[in-house]
Amino acid sequence: MKSDYTLEGVGQRFNVTRRMSRTAVALVAGAAVLLSGCAFLQLPGKVAEWQQLMSPEEVIPAEPLSFDAADGFLMDATIDGHPVRLRVSLRSKGIELNPETARRIGLESRGRSTAMQLGKKMVDGGYAQAEVLIGTARSYPRVEWFDADVGDGVDGVINIDYLPAPSVTLNLRPRREADRPTILPTVDRGGFAVVYRHREGNRTIDVRPDLASSQTVLTTATGAYLAERLGGTWSGTDRPHPIVYGIARPVRPMAFATPLIIGNFRIDEALVRLRDYQGDDLLPSFDTGEDDEDTIMVVGDEDRTAAVHFLYLGRDVLGRCASITYTRASQELELICPPPPDR
């Protein structure tokens, strides 16, 4: 039996059993002893478990961090004494490792099982508590891994919200004179730490920034609602699109007669997942390309999953920006981007 699992659609972790392994209990107890001799890192906001590896009188305030796209947003850390290279992510939940890295540093052998549900797919994995060192800061968080890699050329990913810094900036390109700031307040939605709640008509859509996705991707329910509200029509054929952990889901591009406006961003077209989180919402019919009238399909009329309204805001939108800064105290994203085209 899985000890817990996470639903991509709601970002909520469900515990199936509350009993911790002896290893996890020992780690927590050991952490409490170790932390009693350390000073808390001076950070605003909700992450207070980071500790300074120095005596209290030597503690200095945490400094802002900055990472460049040219370097892959990479950073070095240590997990249970093993050096790892992590990619800073807007989307990941805490720290997620590739399975080979979890095996190499010994987490897999003492971890507990977990799983992630992606649409109708379930991906098995595991988790363990581990000592994580970043610079002079130490913590004992939950570290996860799944049966497929979470990133190429790295050992894993770490969420921008999780870093021991008052603010973190991702630099995508040099700033231009025409660039303007856009501020998006964010919330933690069950493990997805950087989520902007966008109100569109009578629906609230969770917007999850995701530089790992080449295009903006909507759930079926989101696509169905926006098709009706904004005059969405199909603008291409269906194809698989990678979501995460090696899982690709069927999508089809949809163009909007009236653009979707999120903050200062204008979205004229997005990919719609065809069979994920649709509930009772039906997408527009589309022709498979055959002559038989019976090949006209209405997606989402059977074998439904619960309707969830969210989208991944991809590089087709975020890639226009010069930088993205997350500030911990205010839980805001500041995006320095060119002004939107005329609406």
Count Cα neighbours of 24 within 13 Å in the Cβ-side half-sphere: 16
Same domain, 184 and 113: no
The DSSP bridge partners found for residue 198 are: 205
Supply φ then ψ for residue 58, to 5 degrees: -100, 0
User: Are residue 8 and residue 144 in the same domain, yes or no?
Assistant: yes
Question: Of all residues in the chain, what percent are helix, strand and coil, respectively (each to 5)?
Answer: 15, 45, 45
Average pLDDT over residues 197-226: 96
The predicted pLDDT at position 54 comes to 58
Q: Give the domain-ending residue among 166, 195, 228.
A: 166
On whether residue 343 sits in a domain, the answer given is no
Q: Residue 292 burial (CB < 10 Å; 0-12/13-18/19+)?
A: exposed
Angle subtended at Cα 4 by Cα 272 and Cα 147, rounded to the nearest 5 degrees: 65
Confidence of residue 160 (pLDDT cuts 50, 70, 90): very high
Which pLDDT score, from 0 to 100, does residue 19 have?
Answer: 34
pLDDT tens digit sequence for 236-271:
999 999 988 888 899 999 999 999 999 999 999 999
- What is the DSSP pairing of strand 217-218 with strand 310-313? antiparallel
Band (pLDDT 50/70/90 cuts) for residue 35 is very low
Give tens-digit pLDDT for 181-190. 999 999 988 6
Residue 94 lies in a domain: yes
Same domain, 99 and 221: no
Nearest to 240 by CA among 141, 123, 121, 334: 121
Average pLDDT value for the chain: 82
> Residue 302: CB partners within 8 Å, gap ≥ 6?
none
* Whether residues 87 and 155 fall in one domain: yes
- Number of structural domains in the chain: 2
Q: Quick one: 244 and 112 in the same domain?
A: no
pLDDT at 217 over 90: yes
Report the C-alpha gap between 145 and 63 in whole angstroms: 29
Are 199 and 118 within one domain? no
The pLDDT score that the predictor gives to residue 46 is: 44
- In the listed set 166, 186, 220, which residue is the last one of a domain according to the structure? 166
Give the closest residue to 159 by CA, choosing from 146, 170, 172: 170
Q: Check residue 232 and give its pLDDT.
A: 97
Give the domain-ending residue among 115, 144, 166: 166
Asked if residue 97 is part of any domain, the answer here is yes
Instruction: Assess whether 47 and 109 both reside in one domain.
Output: yes
Q: Which residues pair with 241 in a beta bridge?
A: 249
Is 342 among the domain residues? no
pLDDT of residue 57: 52
Residue 205's domain is classified under what CATH number?
A: 2.40.70.10
Handedness of CA 81, 82, 87, 90 (dihedral sign): negative
Q: Domain residues for 78?
A: 4-166
Residue with more model confidence, 19 or 72: 72
